[in-house]
Amino acid sequence: MGVTRRYFGTDGIRGKVGDYPITPDFVMKLGWAAGRVLANGSPQGKVVIGKDTRISGYMFESALEAGLAAAGMDSHLLGPMPTPGIAYLTRTLHAVAGIVISASHNPYYDNGIKFFAGDGMKLPDDIEAAIEHELDRPMQVCDSRNLGKAFRVEDARGRYIEFCKRTVPYTTNLTGLKIVIDCAHGATYHVAPNVFEELGAEVIMIGAEPDGLNINDGFGATAPKALQAQVLAHEADVGIALDGDGDRLIMIDAKGEIVDGDELLFIMARERMRNNMLRGAVVGTLMSNLGLEHALRTLGLDFRRSRVGDRYIIEMLKENNWSLGGENSGHIVCLDVTTTGDGIISALSILEAMARSGTPLNTLKSGMHKYPQALINVRLERNGVDVMGLPSVTDAVRAAEAELGDKGRVLLRPSGTEPLVRVMVEGTDTMKVKTLAQQIADAVAAAIRQAA
């Protein structure tokens, strides 16, 4: 930690295709730089490359392959594959690293590159820093006899499907469950149906016809209305909404109600506790609903908050040898079975509990009551304005906290990806929460205007 990075954010390098650095020339050099660092003096190492379904994935796959070959590294191409599947195959194929070409839940015109280390975990900060340092050097092609080669991994999909099924007890039987699955026209379109059908479920698919341009467009975990309608229309037991790269999960119960990441995390924690499978505290983030914290404490479970982002959840879990964490956005991390957030595996955990207990999803989530939450984004007029510590803003925050007492909380934080200040207030009274959030947002906006 504490390393200044020019290109890598909290989840790799991401941006609009064609805008630097999301360009073919930069990505080729990134592949070369990564190959130089990851080889660590060993020629002819192996890197796996997977992608989601956006059209620019073809271009960047070829660019990475060329860059890696120039550094003497072999590429093993997985084709369209969920991000957690790439992490898994990085481990089982004994690669030195895995590369994901994806912009997750973003529109098709964005793309990104992120890395997994050989153990399937996110690449350490010092390795990312070394890759950035190598990017400053002139690109040099290794001797022709040492150039890397490219191979297509033909059985990647089947390997990952079998791995997903092995994360639940072999006795798991989903026969009798009718499921609607929304793949966001993304990387899970040719994986998710097989996983659930092979365990006995009746599966209805939507968002499973990618054309390179429709990923996340009105479908998936960030746009669940289509899935809600289909669950009700088919009288299904449950709906599963995945995002474009398959690491995020939102579910829909039989009543058509959204079950978000906080509620899913609560169910999974309770089930693991009952089966003596939970290790240590449950980790959420600063944005996790206060209702989750209270519900877990009622069960006698410890709850801790990390910074926002699954990277920080994983860091806290690893540091303490804990096993379960997640975000309200639907990134659920189960370190007892895998190394990163996995929407399919998280959904399997919930469905296994439903099938084993004969309990519908809306009943399973009933042990947690979400507090009303108001979130307001205040746009910064210019980057670099720090209003967080100004007296007018801190006074507004203190006044809100005093009014809420121990029945609510206030969170004020700058966005890590946009020029925004995020104001979040939650408590037991919906109108009070909205009013207090607006008062703080107004104070922030006034402070921004004064500082501009």
Buried b (16+ CB within 10 A) or exposed e, 239-259: bbbbbbbbbbbbbbbbebeeb
Q: How many CA atoms lie within 13 A of 198 on its CB side?
A: 15
Q: What are phi and psi of 366, to 5 degrees?
A: -70, -15
Cα separations in angstroms, 65 against 322, 325, 357: 36, 34, 48
Joined together, the tokens standing for residue 100 give 């994901």
Backbone angles phi, psi at 445, to 5 degrees: -60, -40
Q: Which single residue is written with the structure tokens 């004020």?
A: 412
Q: Which of 56, 75, 104, 323 is catalytic?
A: 104
Distance between CA 168 and CA 163 in Å, rounded?
A: 10
Angle between helices 156-166 and 83-92 (to 10 degrees): 100
Catalytic residue flag (residue 415): no
- Tokens 């008062």 map to which residue? 439
Cα distance between residue 276 and residue 278, in whole Å: 6
Max Cα-Cα span within the chain? 71
| Residue in 147, 146, 148, 152 with CA at minimum distance from that of residue 76 | 152
Burial class (CB in 10 A: 0-12, 13-18, 19+), 405: exposed
Distance in angstroms (rounded) separating the CA atoms of residues 102 and 90: 16
> Which alpha helices (H) appear in 150-301, and where do they start and end?
156-166, 192-198, 225-233, 261-274, 290-298
Active site residues: 104
